[in-house]
Chains A and B, each alone.
Chain A
Amino acid sequence: MIVALVRMRLAAFLRTGRALAPLIAALVVLGILYGGGAARAGEAYGVSAVVLFPVLAWQTKLLLDIEPDVQRRLARVSLGPRREAVAGLLAAGVAAGGTALLALGVPWVIGGIAGPGIASGLAWGVWAHLLAACAGVALGAVASRATTRSALYGVAVLSVGVVGGLVFGLKSSIAPWLAPPLLATARALTAAPGPDLGDTLALSGQALAWSAVVLAAYGWLRRTRS
């Protein structure tokens, strides 16, 4: 039943054409990123994950906001509040996965990847984009109309989340734990010889913890607002 609601929401996302805007935005930022020439896979994908984070958050907000409030309540009656909310996150996760796959594939089409270590670079790229997808879905969910109740607050939450996520992720940040570690991941992938196991676990843990905290806020707001 959750799967049916996920399919219904993804169908609405595609049929309304709202999926096009973040798709075009993703292609534009990827075009700019890879337009200057080729780079090593790990380095390129690290930066790609950073620039994709705002796109994924926006995409998630768009997807969750398409459904009219009353239709969301009808789904809640059918499935229960928890499963209804989870279905929205899963739908956003599927859409984010699609965009991440596009980001992983585009540089091969336009010749943005060069040099040795392509296989390992691709693996690091999948990892970096997974972290970006988790953080983007969490931020987009908490910025959705179901929790913010107004377009203005929704845009404000999205903007503050994206800017804060990038500013607090800078190397000189006084509170790097406030941001998903996407910039830190890009730095680790750019520096030779790349992240070791400890770095990988630490960055993954921080990204998952950040996403979990934001999703917990989403869950709490969904409980108190309908």
Chain B
Amino acid sequence: MKQNRGLVSTPCIKSGGCGTLFGVRLVNVSYRYGRRGPWVLREVDVTVAPGEVAVVLGRNGAGKSTLLQIAAGVLRPSGGAVRDRPQPVGWVPERFPADQPFTVRDYLEAMARVGGGGEPAPWIERLGLTPYAGTKLGELSKGTAQKVGLAQALLRSPRLLVLDEPWEGLDAAARELVPDIVGEVTAAGGAVLVSDHRGETARLPGATTWTVAGNTVTAGAPETDEDEVVLEIRVAAAQADDALAALRAAGHDVVRVRRSATSQSGGRS
């Protein structure tokens, strides 16, 4: 098992230390789906300080969305705890649930009431949703629906903004808006967590980068192909499954499994 490096991102921009004001801290957080499911995250220690942006990178299925959902309060950790989560939290899911019988305006007004405040009109205008305000959510394109997802998260001026692949499906104008919005949240003392697999990180200068891999979170960008080597390992057929599980649990990427000379199976995990 790869050792967790006990990542605490920097800097803490307010006196009193990380986590004592509005930063969110994940303390020894572990998570798995179901009581017998494989661990997605093990003993993760991370902190996002107020005014900080943390970009979460990693392969598909590495656990980026899980980490973000734990930070946002969507998922309850299987172990460990989330401390000092500021309120309100704005969460933008990877896919906005458009299968709902509301128009854009009705939905945002309802979500504002559920959240206890917020005015949808400015966000409808800023995100270019005005022509769609009376359109039912189910009739929106993916990108427009994603803007509604962004708007609902911003209604209450979040102190913690969690964006799961926020650039996915957005048009060019809206993509340019995301860094501005992130900047406004951090300028107001809020913290922002963003996952990204499109390489849009450059739009967020000064952001801290985390990599999710091998059930843990480490500082910095993921290793590139040049930093990796491919090993070929021969094991007894009866021990193949155990060896595979051990390699994957240790955070290694199993590229190919060749079970016999005539039959091949497997793929990138």
Give residues in A with beta carbon < 8 Å to B: 1, 4-5, 7-8, 11-12, 15-16, 67-71, 73-81, 223-224, 226
Contacts and interface: CB of A to CB of B under 8 A. Distances in A.
A79 B100 contact: no
B69 A12 contact: no
B93 A223 contact: no
Interface in B115-131: 115-116
A68 B91 contact: no
A170 to B, nearest CB: 36
Nearest to B160: A77
Interface string B180-223: 00000000000000000000000000000000000000000000
B101 A15 contact: yes
B93 A73 contact: yes
16 contacts: A1-B113, A1-B114, A4-B110, A7-B110, A8-B111, A15-B101, A15-B102, A68-B97, A68-B99, A70-B96, A71-B97, A77-B89, A79-B114, A80-B73, A81-B76, A226-B76
Chain B facing A: main interface SS: loop
B114 A4 contact: yes
B110 A71 contact: no
Contacts, number: 69
A8 B110 contact: yes
B255 to A, nearest CB: 32
B72 A77 contact: yes
Nearest to A18: B101
B114 A77 contact: no
Q: Which 4 A-B pairs have the closest CB atoms?
A: A4-B113, A68-B97, A15-B101, A70-B97
B152 interface: yes
A1 B116 contact: yes
Nearest to A223: B76
B100 A226 contact: no
Interface in B71-125: 72-76, 88-91, 93, 95-97, 99-102, 110-111, 113-116
Contacts of A12: 100-102
B100 A68 contact: yes
Contacts of A70: 93, 95-97
Nearest to B87: A80
Nearest to B90: A77
Contacts of B74: 73, 76-77, 226
Contacts of A226: 74-76
Contacts of B111: 8, 74, 78
Given A70-B93, A226-B74, A78 B115 contact: yes
Contact of A5 (B69, B72, B76, B114): B114
A73 B69 contact: yes
A55 B49 CA distance: 51
Contacts of B100: 12, 67-68, 71
Residue from the set B35, B72, B75, B97 with the largest chain A CB neighbour count within 10 Å: B97
A19 to B, nearest CB: 12
Contacts of A223: 76
B73 A74 contact: no
B91 A74 contact: yes
A12 to B, nearest CB: 6
